[in-house]
Amino acid sequence: MTTSYELEKAIIKRVLITMTVLILLAFFTSQNPKTWILGYVFGGLIGILNFLHLGKTLERAVTMNPGKAQGYASSRYMLRYLTTAVVIAISLKADYLNGLATIIGLLLVKFSIFSIHLFDSKEYYKRIFKRREDNK
Amino acid sequence: MNGVDLIKACSAIGAGLAMIAGIGPGIGQGYAAGKGAEGVGRQPEAQGDIVRTMLLGAAVAETTGIYGLIVALILLFANPFF
């Protein structure tokens, strides 16, 4: 079992749940739900694959020497960036995919990270309107 | 050269400028990975914590690059002005 396996599993689970909710919403809110659903699925799955690739890259990078790790992580980032560029270009060109849905799907991993690690805490909401000076 | 051609030319220049946003996360991620490798070398038992923290940070940092990419590709393929 990998070191970050549990974290990846939790985030992917949240992404899949959010994707399902968005797909169900698309049935009721859109005139043409098929393009939205395909967009969410396409973007969401590529986003998950990119995230898993990032995890594998970092696990391998920390075992290298620092100089080599830097080049390795940057080159792998460019590979993921190229993949994302191809996905967005296809979704904007193709008629059967909704571009906005694909972009939302690609960013679902980030929204899930924010929702799990920031917005899940009640303390975060309590601190929003509190001035730092008042705590002293 | 008419107005539409000028808009197309300016959109292409804008798309090129927007793509600069993709370089920053790449440099940052590489730097973080290098420092992570240094940390693991210094304290090997903390490898799990280092990778987990770096994974979350790197995933969120990539978002800004994707925003730039989206702007560039919309200017090229789905430009609302022509």
In a domain, A78, yes or no: yes
The domain tally of chain B equals 1
CA distance B51 to A1: 14
Rama region for B43: left / alpha / beta (φ>0; ψ in -120 to 50; rest): beta
Among the listed residues B27, B33, B54, B65, the one whose alpha carbon sits nearest the alpha carbon of residue A3 = B54
Q: Does B68 touch chain A (CB under 8 A)?
A: no
Choose the mutation target among B43, B49, B56 for the interface with A, i.e. most A CBs under 10 Å: B56
Among the listed residues A79, A78, A76, A84, the one whose alpha carbon sits nearest the alpha carbon of residue A57 = A76
In a domain, B52, yes or no: yes
Over residues A39-70, the pLDDT tens digits come to: 999 999 999 999 999 999 999 999 999 999 99
Of all helices (H) and strands (E), which one includes residue A114?
Answer: helix A99-117
Residues of B in contact with A106 (CB under 8 A): 66
In a domain, B35, yes or no: yes
Over residues B22-62, the pLDDT tens digits come to: 999 999 999 999 999 999 999 999 999 999 999 999 999 99
In a domain, A124, yes or no: no
Residues of A in contact with B32 (CB under 8 A): 73
In a domain, B66, yes or no: yes
Domain that holds residue A42: 5-119
pLDDT at A1: 45
CA distance A7 to B59: 13
Residues of A in contact with B56 (CB under 8 A): 7, 113, 117
The mean pLDDT of A81-109, rounded to a whole number, is 95
In a domain, B82, yes or no: no
Q: Point out the residue among B31, B69, B74 whose CB comes nearest to the CB of A70.
A: B31
Q: Sorting pLDDT into bands at 50, 70 and 90, what band is A135?
A: low
Q: Is the pLDDT of residue A123 over 90?
A: no
The domain tally of chain A equals 1
Smallest CA–CA distance, residue B37 to chain A, in Å, is: 4
- CATH number, domain containing residue B66: 1.20.20.10
In a domain, A64, yes or no: yes
In a domain, A85, yes or no: yes
In a domain, A69, yes or no: yes
Check CB contact under 8 Å for A80 and B48: no
Domain that holds residue B45: 3-14+23-77
In a domain, B47, yes or no: yes
In a domain, A63, yes or no: yes
In a domain, B43, yes or no: yes
In a domain, B72, yes or no: yes
Check CB contact under 8 Å for B55 and A107: no
Are the C-beta atoms of residues A61 and A72 closer than 8 Å to each other?
A: yes
In a domain, A136, yes or no: no
